[in-house]
Chains A and B, each alone.
Chain A
Amino acid sequence: MVFAGSYFPVSRGQEPELGYAFALPRLVARLAGRKVRRAEFSRLEAYGVCLLVFGMSNLFVARALLPLLGSLVLQWLVVFLLPFAMWAAFLLLYYLVSLVIAVFRRLGFYRATTNNSFQHIVIMTLTTLLALALVRDECDGVKSLGFLWLGLLALNLLAIAILGMFLKE
């Protein structure tokens, strides 16, 4: 079956179409000889980055907050409620950034259909700042999480350069 347009359904059992939003997995797939394109089809990419960004934010706040709480019960309560509070904090962040974007749109500095690309830059920048804070932590586990983010970020930037310069994506 052929569908008009850039994508088409495949029959059940056929190899699924590969698509990644980030440059690093696209480069890896291309080096492995796979046909890949820029699309948000990867569950691993979506859930993986989600876990990293949200996990690092929670960890950062928990590391800052927990030493201030004396009681163990209170600490556990905070650990339980923190993800919900962080979710609310993210919602507030999206809203505040959207206000900034609205101003930029009015001034003619931003014209994209959605605000996602601007929000992406803000979130990546904030997460990188958190990672820089985490690499200074005393705990090796926390420190390695910070390094993991910085490493992935550097590799992704390198992949963008390689795909742009040599593989003409």
Chain B
Amino acid sequence: MTDSFRWFDRFAVRGVLWRHYLDFGLTNVPFYLRPMTIFFWTIFFFFFAAAARRTIVRNLSVVLPGSSSLLNQARAWLTMYNFAWTISDAADYKLAKTEFAYEVEGEKFLEQLAAARGAILLTAHMGSYDLGAAVFAQRFAREIRMVRAPEADVRTAQHLDQSLERAGAGAVKVAYNTASMALPLELLNAIRGGEIVSIQGDRPVPNASQRTARLFSEVVSLPDGPFMLAIVSGAPIFPLFIVRKSFHRYRIIAREPIWCQRVERDREAIIERAMQTWCQTLEEVIAAHWSQWFSLVPIFP
């Protein structure tokens, strides 16, 4: 994240202008005209956000092996369309407290998470994780500490922080994943204090701890921080995803918790096994919902 700011930075793809414009749109466009508005804005960003589009196409070529590159361009558009909907819905919830309908897959795991005293919620850049965290925190009256990768634009970061804290009515706190040593200790204390720490585990953050794993038969680097936290704290890791089903409807997918208890001496083996389990879960969910994997930064070689 950089503090230097040039006047034209606000127009960059990740600039704060688009976030402000999104807020304007959601407070001025009636719900029934949003499909058309989002449709055309997606066409605009399909060309404007070329780097993100190329990354999505690359991801798709790995997730759907043998797929044609032309078809993947169309799939990339669909992915960007879903992305537009999910960030719109999250902003809609923040600004107007609009209701969304949810269905749950893996209800008993979600109940375990809600009842857990200190847990790690491991998720991915899928569906509406911002909206999901805010709704979960409010409905279960739990505090969530959400770890995010730093935003490229400092004003966008400020806007996102405010949005998340406003949407979660103070129950969602944002922490940035940087090289700082203070964050792991802060997260450990939060877990020991009974809080839920939410981490996105589908792509590494520069300078943060990571190790190699296999995802869709490719060697990738993924963050190992959640697993180290789980070993030290003894807290379970709950894989949880929130995917968009249709207009204002979401599906919460909760999977069996991953335990990293030190029952054996080899800490490395425990972490590797846990990461392997996480990668399998991630593969299953991404393969079923490839149009909602919003990993806009390259992870595959």
Interface on A for B, CB 8 Å cutoff? 1, 3-12, 14, 16-17, 19, 21, 39-43, 45-47, 49-50, 53-54, 83-84, 87, 90-91, 94-95, 97-98, 113-116, 119-120, 123
The answer to whether A98 and B138 touch across the interface, beta carbons within 8 angstroms, is no
Partner of A90, one of B37, B96, B247: B37
* Chain A residues with CB under 8 A of B138: 5
* Chain A residues with CB under 8 A of B28: 94-95, 97-98, 114-116, 119
Q: How far, in whole Å, are A119 and B37 apart by their CA atoms in the complex? A: 14
The answer to whether A46 and B34 touch across the interface, beta carbons within 8 angstroms, is yes
The answer to whether B249 and A49 touch across the interface, beta carbons within 8 angstroms, is no
Partner of B33, one of A1, A16, A54: A54
Is there a chain A Cβ closer than 8 Å to B24's Cβ?
Answer: yes
**Proximity string of chain B (94-110) to chain A, C-beta cutoff 8 Å, 1 when within and 0 when not:** 01101111111101001
Q: Which of B27, B30, B248 has the most CB of A within 10 A?
A: B30
B108's nearest neighbour on chain A, judged by CB, is A1
Report the interface size class on chain B: 35 or more
A114-B95 contact, Cβ under 8 Å, with A1-B104, A11-B103: yes
Q: How far, in whole Å, are A49 and B105 apart by their CA atoms in the complex? A: 31
Is there a chain A Cβ closer than 8 Å to B181's Cβ?
Answer: no
Closest Cβ–Cβ distance, residue A4 to chain B (whole Å): 6
A4-B103 contact, Cβ under 8 Å, with A42-B247, A46-B247, A53-B32: no
* Chain B residues with CB under 8 A of A9: 101-104, 252
Q: How far, in whole Å, are A45 and B249 apart by their CA atoms in the complex? A: 13
A6-B30 contact, Cβ under 8 Å, with A12-B105, A98-B24: no
A94's nearest neighbour on chain B, judged by CB, is B28
The answer to whether A1 and B27 touch across the interface, beta carbons within 8 angstroms, is no
The answer to whether B251 and A47 touch across the interface, beta carbons within 8 angstroms, is no
* Chain A residues with CB under 8 A of B33: 50, 53-54, 90, 123
